Structure 1
Amino acid sequence: MRRVRTLLLVAVTAMACGAPAVAPPPQPAPPAPDPGLPSRLVEEVTGEGAFAHLAELQRIADANGGNRALGTPGYDASVDYVVGVLRGAGYEVQTPTFDARRFEVRQEQLTVDGGPVPVSALGFSPTTPDAGVTGPLTVMAGEGCNPADAGAVTPGSVALVRRGTCPFAQKATHAAGAGALGLIVINTADEPLDDGTLGEAATGVVPTGGVSRSAGDALAGRAGAAVTLTLVTTVELTPSRNVLAQTRSGNPDEVVVAGAHLDSVPEGPGVNDNGSGVATLLETAVRLGANPPVTNAVRFAFWGAEETGLVGSTTYVQGLSEEDRNRIALYINLDMVGSPNAGYLVYDGDDSDQEGDGPGPRGSAAIERALVEGLAAAGVQGAGTDFSGRSDYGPFIARGIPSGGLFTGAEEVKSAEEAQRWGGTAGEAYDRCYHQACDRLDTIDRTAVDRNADAFAAALARFALSTDELAAG
């Protein structure tokens, strides 16, 4: 600070004495848009380059308790690494802070007629007393998505319901409305239900845990059994950071945004979920450079607290003024692009698959088309996947921003048809290590990362040159 004041004094004195003012050096003209950018960027962006960033994220997790989750030294070190790489590539970087609610489980236990049953607390489940809640087991009809499904639930009972198409919080609300003291959700897969959450905004819900399909099937025939459900949980307000960097060239009123979440779950290092998306995004940002020959500005975003409910991206999007929102032409999301039993999935922007939620905002179909074409050029046929709201595209869609993205699958099971199309093993999860400690570097499908990196680079450069095709839908 003192040095700046001294320099300022010298400059003022020189002008007062009649010395000519020194003009600042002229800024270089922005480069002209280059139609060859997409093919060149595909050539320069490599899976090997992304893998180097993945290795660093693995090292960071190993040095910081085995994860990179919200509120941990591992997350802070991940932010510092990404910031350092971006600044080294010439970007101006911002790390805006926000508060997120961090959910922790201190005790989870389920007994049925005195016998133990493995159970996992759903995210943001309300806490039970230390001694748990006890009552007879009652069974909800269907998937518990309607109040009528809780017709057999009695006050003071612990309800049982199957996982399905509606949010967990909706089931827990109906159970609470019927007077249940707690809820047990049966997973669709024969594995622990440790990826579910009620959502940080859930109200009017009961303590909720999940069990495997086989354990739940056994419980379904034991209505009236004595159940004690113990889920001791806490929620703390925790500061976190996003990382944002934008090219110096390109129209700042027509911004192409690409993002990936930087945090892992507490259970593991998150190398696929979502180190793979982060590494691909970072590799592309470095190869594109801070002053590329583009028409439209490109903004790279690394989101915090995705695993606790898309908090970083939601805070960012909700904080945009209407003017700033209108400057965003589109959003491309990268989440899990190196699954070990990979699918090649592209978010279904036009709802042509007629599954789950409807289409994205107008222009999303064009993003889907560009990514599918990018995968085809990389040698693989992409398939649609629903905009289910499980990743950071959700807040952008809610604000009416055209969106798309790439995904190689999580806990869902690969079909025989998909295995024939893409290779891998039918009947097994896309990522058997999803949200687990084994989500490490040695499980990553390098070919999947390389193909998705090429598809992403091609689409990003394509829209950086022109967004005219978004108008077609």
Structure 2
Amino acid sequence: MKSGLAAGVSAVMVLGLGLAPAANASTTTVDEAALPGLVTTDAIREHMRNLATIAEYNGGNRATGTPGYDVAAKYVIDQLKRAGYKPVKHTYTFDEWIELSDAVLSQTAPEAREFAYGEDFLTMEYSGPGDVTATAVPVDAQGSDSGCEADDFAGFPTGSIAVLKRGTCTFEQKAANAAEAGAAGAVIFNHGATEAPGDTGPVNGTVTNPSAIPTVGASVEVGEALLAAGADLELRLRVDSEIETSTSYNIVAETRGGKKDNVVVVGAHLDGVEEGPGINDNGSGVAAILEVARQLPRLGTPENKVRFAFWGSEEVGLIGSTEYVESLSDKELERIALYLNFDMIGSENYARLVYDGRNELPGSAAAPSGSGAIQKTFEDYFAAEGLVVEPTEFSGRSDYRAFMLAGIPAGGLFSGADGIKTEEQVEYYGGTAGVQYDRNYHTADDTFENINWDSVTELSGGIAYSVETFSENTLPVNGVAPFRAGPQSAGAFDRVSDRWVR
């Protein structure tokens, strides 16, 4: 997954602790559900142990394009075949941005100063390559729309490096405007809108499409230093990157029975980062939906077809899920009733987080109609179990993004990544306040030994319940009718996977 609790959890939802939800004739009640009892933590644990072994013997990770990914895919395919499915590979080709070495950002005048890669700045994904030393010129760097309009660059000296502030428009637009004005490079510093690390530290961003100039994202502190340097500011900016045509694949399998025109899609990304084995991110989500897929046939033929998807290339920009959705015809998209996403459910310092289908959080993109019903379905389950849940933003950080942009209702569960647990949350889930939900996120320590099994047990129950419920009835989400008259309008996401876009 591409990071932790989306900024700012709203009011905690303590949903009738100790009380079962009101009966609803249109959906499966928690007491009636059989799948949560069939999907056991022991079975999920075994899948995760196997994924850990695969990573250990194949270079230490399951990143896209590696032997670890290929062997993990073979494992998933084998397990699905044993359960009676006919899994298929959905292959795609994409432009993969590769950073060959760490970027360089240094101040050469009026006094020399080195900035640290990773601490002070990061390369924007899809930044163009280049090595330039030149005068650096702020572009409306106090405004929230810095560099968003071509007019902002009026009189900009050709060959200079543009210094821009993160704000209302996308990084792609800022970099493109800078390049069009003759800039030799761009430094986009953070806005500091809140004290959260994501708003103050180096911008972990993407320009989405290949940029014509080297572009980096800097911290608030770096931005302030550059502006304070005055008219004599000179910088060196170097980015060592290239675009490579790559091929990867998703694994897709669906139930043999169920309505073909009312499909429930359940997804988790199979790839991990190069830095480690990725057992929580996202071995946990993969293991959970794999076991749900294995047990679902025991309930008999579902009313609605259920399609399980194991996405590739999530960690390099949500490529697999995006390519899949874009490969579908309008008719095929209309047949999808809803999408459920499960990306990290075993964070060591976990929270129980439900995606914000009701659009209650300010950082959420507008969710298609029906997404609120998915959120309520999860809430009903946890209320009946006597467990607190909280909403988390639809920020664009995981594979639901492409489905939502296509107008498909979406929802899911998440145990947190790089967000920070509060004192109040300790009361609900235990753990440690002031510490990340998962300190091992995107590191070599994302291992089998660092999984919180209470989190896996609790959230996998919600996964199983939601799949069973929607396999039988999607009425609250889409009125059962499979046709939607075209994609519904969706808000602009602030992220593509782990990378900010604005």
| TM-score normalised to structure 1 length | 0.83
Kindly indicate whether the alpha-carbon contact (under 8 Å) linking 2:313 and 2:319 is maintained by their aligned counterparts in 1.
yes
Alignment of 1:106-145 (within 5 A): 106-107=100-101, 108-113=103-108, 114-119=112-117, 120-128=122-130, 131-136=131-136, 138=138, 140-144=141-145
Q: CA deviation at 1:126?
A: 1.2
Q: CA deviation at 1:426?
A: 3.1
Relative to 1, partners in 2 of residues 1:156 and 1:311: Cα closer, same or farther, differing over 3 Å? same
Q: For the aligned residues, what is the CA RMSD?
A: 3.0
Kindly indicate whether the alpha-carbon contact (under 8 Å) linking 1:38 and 1:459 is maintained by their aligned counterparts in 2.
no
Q: Could you list the per-position Cα deviations for residues 132-153 of structure 1 after superposition, in whole angstroms to 9, with x for gaps in the alignment?
A: 4543363623455633776897
Relative to 1, partners in 2 of residues 1:109 and 1:38: Cα closer, same or farther, differing over 3 Å? farther
Report percent identity of matched pairs: 39
Kindly indicate whether the alpha-carbon contact (under 8 Å) linking 2:137 and 2:162 is maintained by their aligned counterparts in 1.
yes
* Structure with more relative contact order (C-alpha pairs < 8 Å, separation 6 or more): 2
Partner of residue 266, structure 2: 258
Alignment of 1:35-74 (within 5 A): 39-74=33-68
Deviates more, 1:394-403 or 1:153-162: 153-162
Q: Unaligned regions of 5+ residues in structure 1, if any?
A: 1-32
SS of the equivalent of 2:332 reads: helix
Relative to 1, partners in 2 of residues 1:271 and 1:349: Cα closer, same or farther, differing over 3 Å? same
Q: CA deviation at 1:432?
A: 2.6
- The whole-number CA distance in structure 1 between the counterparts of 2:423 and 2:217 is 28
Kindly indicate whether the alpha-carbon contact (under 8 Å) linking 1:137 and 1:222 is maintained by their aligned counterparts in 2.
no
Kindly indicate whether the alpha-carbon contact (under 8 Å) linking 1:118 and 1:211 is maintained by their aligned counterparts in 2.
no
Kindly indicate whether the alpha-carbon contact (under 8 Å) linking 2:306 and 2:471 is maintained by their aligned counterparts in 1.
yes
- The whole-number CA distance in structure 1 between the counterparts of 2:416 and 2:167 is 18
- 1:158 pairs, out of 157, 161, 177, with 161
Q: CA deviation at 1:44?
A: 1.8
Q: CA deviation at 1:326?
A: 2.0
Partner of residue 373, structure 2: 366
SS of the equivalent of 2:314 reads: coil
Partner of residue 237, structure 2: 229
| TM-score normalised to structure 2 length | 0.78
Alignment of 1:197-236 (within 5 A): 197-199=206-208, 202=209, 206-212=213-219, 214-215=221-222, 218-223=225-230, 224-236=232-244
- 1:389 pairs, out of 388, 396, 399, with 396
Q: Unaligned regions of 5+ residues in structure 2, if any?
A: 1-26, 191-195, 481-502
SS of the equivalent of 1:362 reads: coil
Deviates more, 1:207-216 or 1:423-432: 207-216
SS of the equivalent of 1:340 reads: coil
Write the letter of the residue equivalent to 2:69. Y
Write the letter of the residue equivalent to 1:41. L
Write the letter of the residue equivalent to 2:107. V
Q: Does 1:88 align with 2:101?
A: no
Kindly indicate whether the alpha-carbon contact (under 8 Å) linking 1:366 and 1:472 is maintained by their aligned counterparts in 2.
no
Relative to 1, partners in 2 of residues 1:84 and 1:230: Cα closer, same or farther, differing over 3 Å? same
Q: CA deviation at 1:95?
A: 0.9
Q: CA deviation at 1:433?
A: 2.9
Q: CA deviation at 1:154?
A: 5.1
Deviates more, 1:167-176 or 1:68-77: 167-176
Partner of residue 30, structure 1: none
Q: CA deviation at 1:472?
A: 6.7
- The whole-number CA distance in structure 1 between the counterparts of 2:275 and 2:333 is 35
Kindly indicate whether the alpha-carbon contact (under 8 Å) linking 1:101 and 1:308 is maintained by their aligned counterparts in 2.
no
- The whole-number CA distance in structure 2 between the counterparts of 1:233 and 1:203 is 10
SS of the equivalent of 2:284 reads: helix
Q: Does 1:182 align with 2:176?
A: no
SS of the equivalent of 2:438 reads: coil
